[in-house]
């Protein structure tokens, strides 16, 4: 007699609105790297969350999803959400995504649904909880250039770009098992004022916040400015970040990640 198949958790992956094809048709899209990490490390089912703005049903999403992964993107969080100045001309924006993810973050954190926020998602986490952003770190005195290297090789674009100081005793310190790690860097925006309820867990050499955790959250809720989904197969710290997220998801659902 066959044993019943274990039902895997569902992980919501935030999408952007992008135009594809010769006619520029609008699509909802997320990078395959997040899907692969969900499949291979979380042992969960990836579910793409469309950027459908005011029609997004946050309540239904959180009733069905067992974890939320907030993705990186070329677009920047719209400054109207944190009372910032208008973006420079040519800056990519995606207000349909903003109006989906920001209320989703607040509701997910409050409910204890595990949240892993990466790059743009890291910035969204800060804005959703009341923080502000720098729009172009490379234009600020004393800041290093955190932007994507314009190089045809993905290995160069996604490779380690700078060191990061890990806060002693933090969640990230337990994950990294080191006081300093190397990270990639593919962003223009960065945290300016840290949101109430967030604590910084890591800093770039220029003092820029690179990792955060939601204080007193009822569930797993962390964010990082870099992209661990690019190198989890070769970087132990990146892999352990996803393993910690997986543990939180499976613990909440009562399932064992190793048994799936």
> Does residue 194 contact residue 212 with C-beta atoms inside 8 Å?
yes
Closest CA to 163 of 200, 207, 124: 207
> Does residue 44 contact residue 243 with C-beta atoms inside 8 Å?
no
Cα distances (angstroms) measured from residue 105 to each of 73, 90, 127, 167, 230: 17, 27, 10, 24, 23
> Does residue 13 contact residue 66 with C-beta atoms inside 8 Å?
no
Is 16 labeled as catalytic in the residue annotation?
no
Is 229 labeled as catalytic in the residue annotation?
yes
Strands 190-191 and 180-183: unpaired
- Of 15, 16, 229, 250, the catalytic one is 229
Is 78 labeled as catalytic in the residue annotation?
no
- Of 119, 146, 210, 250, the catalytic one is 119
- Of 78, 134, 146, 227, the catalytic one is 227
CA pair distance 30, 12, nearest whole angstrom? 11
The catalytic residues are 119, 227, 229
């Amino acid at each position: 007699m066959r044993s019943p198949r274990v039902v895997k958790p569902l992980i919501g992956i935030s999408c952007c609105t992008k135009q594809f094809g010769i006619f520029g048709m609008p699509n909802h899209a997320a990078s395959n790297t997040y899907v692969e990490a969900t499949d291979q490390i979380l042992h969960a089912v990836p579910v793409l969350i469309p950027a459908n703005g005011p029609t997004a049903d946050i309540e239904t999403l959180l009733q069905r999803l067992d974890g939320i992964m907030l993705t990186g993107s070329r677009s920047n969080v719209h400054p109207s959400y944190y009372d910032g100045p208008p973006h420079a001309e040519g800056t990519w924006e995606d207000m349909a995504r903003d109006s989906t993810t920001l209320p989703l973050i607040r509701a997910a954190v409050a409910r204890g649904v595990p949240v892993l926020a990466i790059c743009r998602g890291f910035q969204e986490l800060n804005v959703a909880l009341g923080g502000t952003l720098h729009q172009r770190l490379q234009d600020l005195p004393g800041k290093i250039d955190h932007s994507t290297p314009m190089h045809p090789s993905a290995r160069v674009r996604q490779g380690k770009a700078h060191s990061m100081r890990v806060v002693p005793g933090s969640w990230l310190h337990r994950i990294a098992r080191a006081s300093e790690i190397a990270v990639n860097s593919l962003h223009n925006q960065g945290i300016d004022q840290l949101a109430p309820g967030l604590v910084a867990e890591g800093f770039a050499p220029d003092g820029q916040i690179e990792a955060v955790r939601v204080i007193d959250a009822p569930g797993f809720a962390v964010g990082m400015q870099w992209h661990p989904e690019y190198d989890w197969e070769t970087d132990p710290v990146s892999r352990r970040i996803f393993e910690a997220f997986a543990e939180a998801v499976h613990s909440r659902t009562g399932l064992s990640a190793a048994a799936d």
